[in-house]
Chain A
Amino acid sequence: MKRGPILLAAGLVVVAADLLPLALVAKQAFTPEAESFAWPPTWIPATLTADNFRALRSAAELEYGFFLSGTVALCSALGTLSLALPAAWVSARHPRLDRPLDALMVVARAFPSIALAVPLAALFVRAGLYNHPAGLGLWFAHTLLGLPFAFLVLRTGFASVPRELEEAALLDGATPLGAFWRVSLPLARSSVAAAAVLVFLVSWDEFAYALLLQVTNRPLPPLLYYLAAFGHPGMASAMAVVMLVPALAIIALLEPALRAGVLAGSGR
């Protein structure tokens, strides 16, 4: 019995249905806005146009949104790594620290964003960080959000570096910091890269903190939300496509690392 092709066909049907909404958004991005308002809706584009992308480019807010999202994501990745690297290394080397730090990560991961975003917004208003033009407040929030992911990925990475290598470096006269910097860090570099990309993506995609903390100086996700909410299906879809391209590229390149990130902390 040849069941292979049948299973493949069934799988392709499931995937097609699964991804249809995204294809429809892509369609809306490349058709005139009037077609997106049409009833009954079209499934195959009647007219193709790049007008939506042109309109999007001339909207000044978009460039700023890109700048803001990029800056915040980059700074969050750096901030998260600088805090998580030493902690993850210690945790991998000193099993006694493992459990309390694990518990902290569970709490941080489970904490509802909005429950934290509301008091953070109130505190940031006073500190001048609310709606900050460079997204400083959002950077702090996203660093917090990224820490559990980065910590778990990095600790797995450091745990896979044999401690004998560090000890050999120490016996050869290296300082503990030197042993970390020249031996462990280079050997764990793929985990470091995975953690950095993961935190960058978490920040780039994040919606709740961005919506609450940046009311008028908006990064990309809230910008897309408002474009769609105020009835610009063409421009909103174009923007969705713009946000989708880098995400898809990263997924294609780093799928194994991301899979590890999704599964990190799931009890493995």
Chain B
Amino acid sequence: MRQLPGAPRRGRAAASLALPMIAYFALFLAYPTAHAVRLAFTDPFSGAFPSAENFRLLRADPLFWRALANNAILPALSVALEVILGLALALFLSLRFPGRRFLRTAVIVPFALPEIVFLTAMRYVFAPRGYANGALVLLGLPPVEWLLPGRVATLATVVAADAWRVTPVVFLLFLAALASIPEEIGEAAVLDGATGWRRLVHITLPLLRPALRAALLLRGVDALRIFATPLVVAGAEGAPVLSTYAYHQWSDYGNEGMAAAAATALALLSAVCAAPLLRREVRR
């Protein structure tokens, strides 16, 4: 580019245009995070700092351990399910047939709606006298307890509800990736005699690997902070995760310190898992 007179100085002045936004992040992201760490290491009884009392209390709370375990299990299962469903949907809706444009828009709806609206619907589906059990009875099957606290079935229900809502994101990623595969590749494969299943396994899926990585990273980091789904569908103690645990401690017990300690643990977990995303972004 041709340099205009005074360009370097303008460059520095221009950089200052980003400062308000950076200052905002410092004030409302960095400072509260530091405050959370301070609260987490402050003794809730004596106010002494630093103290590990909050973490000792967490360690003694069985609900915290369930929340920690669930915070690994729920995201892993949910992301796995989303990838399978999202890939299947994308492969299906990238076939050419009349009406596929309408279907592509229609399948995004659960994600595009307000989260709380969809989760309220899930609540009525999986309630003890809800529609899922209603359907089972219609089929002559016994009703299921979908949401008893601490059961494996409860985890599965929350995973299903979460995947139901978020699969469209993964679907869109895969759909975009499929659309970017040149048609010649498929045609060449057909000429070479690869059709159907073989073409999918040996040609399409390997080409989708970047999209898969993107989906795993993005959705993995998102799924770690899962909050509304377990809270709305299963309640604070049904399938607790770190987010709902911190919320529960803060709002139901007023335990600022323990809430902050759980929040700090969650932030740390997210930071560790987001690191690959960050590295990828910076390398790009």
Q: Which residues of A come within 8 Å of B, CB atoms?
A: 3-5, 7-8, 10-12, 14-15, 18-22, 24-25, 28, 36-37, 39-41, 43, 82-84, 86-87, 89-91, 93-94, 97, 99, 101-104, 106-123, 140-141, 143-144, 147, 151, 163, 167, 170-171, 176, 204-205, 207-208, 211-212, 215, 221, 224-225, 228, 233, 236-237, 240, 243-244, 247-248, 251, 255, 258-259, 262-263, 265-267
Contact yes or no, B98 A103, CB < 8 A: no
- B101-145 contacts to A, CB under 8 A, are 103, 105-118, 120-125, 129-131, 134, 137-138
CA distance A97 to B225 in the complex (A): 29
B36 interface contact, C-beta 8 A = yes
What are 10 A-B interface contacts by the 8 Å CB criterion? A25-B117, A39-B129, A99-B282, A115-B266, A119-B35, A123-B32, A141-B28, A163-B1, A240-B121, A247-B117
CA distance A84 to B17 in the complex (A): 10
- Report B-chain residues with C-beta under 8 Å of the C-beta of A163: 1
Contact yes or no, B131 A24, CB < 8 A: yes
Contact yes or no, B97 A4, CB < 8 A: yes
Q: 0/1 per residue, B220-257, Cβ < 8 Å to A? A: 01101101100010000000001110110011000010
Nearest CB on B from A84, distance (A)? 6
Contact yes or no, A115 B225, CB < 8 A: yes
Task: Add 18 more A-B contacts to A147-B25, A208-B228 (CB < 8 A).
Answer: A8-B100, A12-B103, A41-B129, A41-B130, A91-B18, A94-B11, A94-B14, A99-B282, A102-B281, A106-B277, A108-B29, A114-B246, A115-B243, A116-B32, A122-B35, A176-B10, A225-B116, A266-B214
Contact yes or no, B270 A21, CB < 8 A: no
Most B CB contacts (10 A, CB to CB) among A90, A151, A251, A263 go to A90
Nearest CB on B from A168, distance (A)? 11
The interface size bin for chain B is 35 or more
Contact yes or no, B122 A97, CB < 8 A: no
Contact yes or no, B99 A8, CB < 8 A: yes
- Report A-chain residues with C-beta under 8 Å of the C-beta of B25: 104, 108, 144, 147
Q: Which residues of B come within 8 Å of A, CB atoms?
A: 1-2, 4, 10-11, 13-15, 17-18, 20-22, 24-25, 28-29, 31-33, 35-36, 39, 89, 92-93, 95, 97-100, 103, 105-118, 120-125, 129-131, 134, 137-138, 164, 169, 172-173, 176, 210, 214, 218, 221-222, 224-225, 227-228, 232, 242-244, 246-247, 250-251, 256, 259-260, 263-264, 266-267, 270-271, 274, 277-278, 280-282, 284
